[in-house]
Each structure stands twice: as C-alpha cells, then as structure tokens.
Amino acid sequence: MRYNIIGKNIDVWDKTKDIVERKMDRIAKLFPEETTATITLSLEKLVSTVEVTIPLNKRLVRAEVQDGDMTAAIDKAVDILESQVVRYKKRMRTKVRQNSENYMAEYDAILVPETELDEEPLYKIEKIKHFEVKPMDAEEAVMEMELVGHTFFVFRNGETDEVNVVYKRKDGSYGLIEPEY
C-alpha cells in the first residue's frame, strides 16, 4: 500500500510520516499492493483530525476521527477502517453466495481472510413501519420531523410529487434529499 500523507495547518515531518505508515501497515494487508491511501492530518485549537480515504474497487473506504492526541486519532481511524473492510467483505460474500457474478472480482480484491468473517448475519431489520406519505413542502416536513423527534423525515414534495427526505445535520442545520433519475 502506498501512502499520500497531507498536512493541513500542520507540518508533516518524517517522524510523523513514519508513525502514520507504521499504524496504517496494520491494515495494508487487507488491500491490494497498488492501493493508495490518502491520509490528511490537521490540527485546529488543540484538536487533531485524521481523515483516511482508501479507494476500493468502485467504492471508497473512509474514516474521520478527532482526538486531542494525533496518535490516538490515527489508531481509532485504523480500527474504523479495519471493521469497515471486514463488514464489506462479509457483505460481498453474501452476494457471491447468491451466485451474483458481478461481485466476484470485488470480493476477490478484498484481502480479508475468510477466518475473520463470522456467519452472523450482517444486518437484521428489527422493525418495519408503514406510514402515509403526505404531500407538503420542505419547511412543513422539517416541522413534522421536529414534532415526532426524529433526525429525518420522508415526505412527498407537493410541488414535484417526488418522495423527498429532510434530515437534521450534525451542525444543527437541515438537509433535503431529492431523487435524481
């Protein structure tokens, strides 16, 4: 695995690069040799942020961690990436077992050993809800979402007659998801 280490508001010295590469080597065995990981290190107000992005076939594996200690943030990011890749391989194994040839190359490219994949189902849907999708505008949907105390709300846009979703963002603002065909 190759590493592209970038610093934002921080100088990346050789010692820092060595630490990052040593930590990332723990998961390098899970990816093909020609894979390039982009690691962005930043420091703002004594909070270290580590962002790691690794292309994997047609997908991206990504982790972003903030911590007071840069080394701890790197460790947490590597842990997140490792669990994501193992879960992804498990998901691909399910597709391959269903004789879906489209996923075979993707499955083989992920170098997670079969012994690390348990037989436990990856996802289990606990509850199914049915509800009426009412026509309304986005502002009304946000109001409804706040009333029910959820972080998202599905509604039919009264102007376009399309199903949309409003959601509450981490920063407290709201977002709108519109389908694109």
pLDDT of residue 52: 93
Residues 96 and 17 in one domain: yes
35 with 82, same domain?
A: yes
Tell me if 126 is assigned to some domain. Answer: no
CA separation for the pair 132, 170 (Å, rounded): 27
Lowest mean pLDDT among 146-150, 158-162, 165-169: 146-150
Radius of gyration, alpha carbons of the chain: 21
Same domain, 141 and 81: no
Q: Say whether both 64 and 7 belong to one domain.
A: yes
Same-domain status, 72 and 103 = yes
Same domain flag for 22 and 76: yes
Q: For the chain, how many structural domains are there in total?
A: 2
> 78 vs 130, which has greater pLDDT?
78
Q: Does some domain include residue 129?
A: no
Quote the pLDDT of residue 152: 93
Which residues, in sequence order, are CB contacts of 29 under 8 Å at separation 6+?
A: 111
Whether residues 108 and 26 fall in one domain:
yes
Residues 92 and 147 reside in one and the same domain: no
Where in the sequence is the domain holding 172, given as residue range(s)? 135-177
CB 23 within 8 A of CB 6: no
- Residue 116 carries which DSSP code? G
For 148, which DSSP code?
H
Give a yes or no: residue 42 inside a domain.
yes
Best mean pLDDT range from 30-39, 52-61, 157-166: 157-166
Contacts of 23 (CB under 8 A, 6+ apart): 71, 74, 75, 78
Same domain? 56 vs 25? yes
**Position 98 pLDDT exceeds 70:** no
Q: What percent of the chain has pLDDT over 70?
A: 81
**CA 84 → CA 43, 59, 90, 146, 156, distances in Å?**
25, 12, 10, 32, 33
Asked whether residue 125 is assigned to any structural domain, the reply reads no
Opening angle at CA 17, ends 14 and 18, nearest 5: 85
